[in-house]
Structure 1
Amino acid sequence: MIALIIAGLLGVTLLVGYITVLIGIRREDKALSLRQRPDGVSASLARKVTGCYVRNGVSWT
């Protein structure tokens, strides 16, 4: 029973993280803002997960 609860919580956590990354990617794409610093938590997380970051105003992947 406890294993099922832990598995459910882990599944929900992964789903929330996945949705947050999707929202961040859409925000970045819509704003065309890859050359600037991310403006929110979802955008920042999306960049960390995808490996895209900004150094001195230049976007690196």
Structure 2
Amino acid sequence: MSSIPLIVALVLTAVVVVGYTLVLIGMRQEDRCMSLRTAAPTRSAVLARRVTGCHVRG
């Protein structure tokens, strides 16, 4: 009897658990960023956005 299938199953299980955990952490961080109150843009941020086309946080 070979132990290779058991080792493969354990490795795949570990990969799935780690991936699931990373997805949950990423979702929580994204939710936290979306729930933060956004401040009114400053004049310098508005000017920088017009010049570069990028959003700049003050």
Q: TM-score range by the shorter chain?
A: 0.5 to 0.7
> When the two structures are superposed, what TM-score results if normalisation uses the length of structure 2?
0.55
**More RCO (CA 8 Å, sep 6+):** 1
Unaligned runs of 5+ in 1: 34-61
Whichever of the two has the greater Rg, that structure is 2
Q: Which has the higher helix share?
A: 2
Q: Which has the higher strand share?
A: 1
> When the two structures are superposed, what TM-score results if normalisation uses the length of structure 1?
0.52
Deviation of 1:23 (Å): 0.2
The whole-number CA distance in structure 2 between the counterparts of 1:5 and 1:32 is 41
